[in-house]
Amino acid sequence: MKIQVLGMGCPRCKVLYAEAAKAIKASGIDAQLEKVETLDGILAYHVMATPALVVDGEVKCVGRVPPVKEMVAWIATAAGSPGGGTDGSHS
């Protein structure tokens, strides 16, 4: 699974990257986290505001830093285990 943080290095982009790393760890799912910092790379997802989060090619949020719990649910759903998280809770 690939999770991408789209943004050119603003403070909120950095926070989203750190929070996404926490969400991956909390999900217990093997995922690759990467930054997409080039304008062409960001525009390839038709995103006009940053930060943005992409999970397996699908844009999940734009212009905000979602809670870790919300990201864990997206990761779990993309991995085929709805609900996700290590505590079995739903968001």
Please state, in angstroms and as integers, the Cα–Cα distance from residue 61 to each residue in 6, 50, 88, following that order: 10, 9, 23
34 forms beta bridges with 4
13 catalytic residue (yes or no): yes
Catalytic residue among 2, 9, 10, 22: 10
Catalytic residue among 3, 5, 6, 13: 13
Handedness of CA 26, 14, 36, 60 (dihedral sign): positive
61 catalytic residue (yes or no): no
Active site (catalytic) residues: 10, 13
